[in-house]
Amino acid sequence: MRAVSWAVATLTLVASGGYALVYVYRWEWHRALLVGLIFLAALIGSGTALVLRRLGRLERRVAQGADRAPPTVLHRLRSAPVESPPFRWLRPPDPDRSSVFIPFLIGGGVLLSAVAWLVERVAGAAARTGIEEELADRLREVAFPAAPLVPSAGEVLAGCAGPEDAGLRVLLGPSAGTPG
> 15: closest CA among 45, 34, 35?
35
Give the integer Cα–Cα distance in Å for 41 and 23.
18
pLDDT at 161: 55
Residue 156 belongs to a domain: yes
Residue 86 belongs to a domain: no
pLDDT at 132: 77
> 178: closest CA among 154, 149, 158, 153?
158
Considering the domain architecture, whether residues 9 and 62 belong to the same structural domain is answered as yes
pTM comes to 0.36
Considering the domain architecture, whether residues 138 and 150 belong to the same structural domain is answered as no
Residue 177 belongs to a domain: yes
Considering the domain architecture, whether residues 133 and 121 belong to the same structural domain is answered as yes
Residue 95 belongs to a domain: no
pLDDT at 168: 61
Residue 74 belongs to a domain: yes
The answer to whether the beta carbons of residues 160 and 180 sit under 8 Å apart is yes
Secondary structure (DSSP) of 25-51: HTT-HHHHHHHHHHHHHHHHHHHHHHH
Considering the domain architecture, whether residues 139 and 157 belong to the same structural domain is answered as no
Strands (E), 8-138: none
Residue numbers of the domain that contains 138: 100-143
pLDDT at 68: 65
Give the integer Cα–Cα distance in Å for 90 and 65.
40
CA distances, 45 to each of 13, 28, 90, 110, 128 (Å): 10, 26, 49, 57, 65
Ramachandran sector of residue 159 (left: φ over 0; alpha: ψ -120 to 50; beta: rest)? left
Q: Residue 95 carries which DSSP code?
A: T
Per-residue pLDDT of the chain (180 residues; tens, 9 = 90+): 888 888 998 999 999 989 999 988 888 888 889 999 999 999 999 999 999 999 999 888 887 775 565 667 778 878 888 777 677 666 666 666 666 677 778 888 899 999 999 999 888 877 777 777 888 888 888 877 776 767 677 666 666 555 565 666 666 666 555 554
Considering the domain architecture, whether residues 128 and 107 belong to the same structural domain is answered as yes
Considering the domain architecture, whether residues 7 and 72 belong to the same structural domain is answered as yes
Residue 152 belongs to a domain: yes
Considering the domain architecture, whether residues 13 and 53 belong to the same structural domain is answered as yes
Considering the domain architecture, whether residues 73 and 107 belong to the same structural domain is answered as no
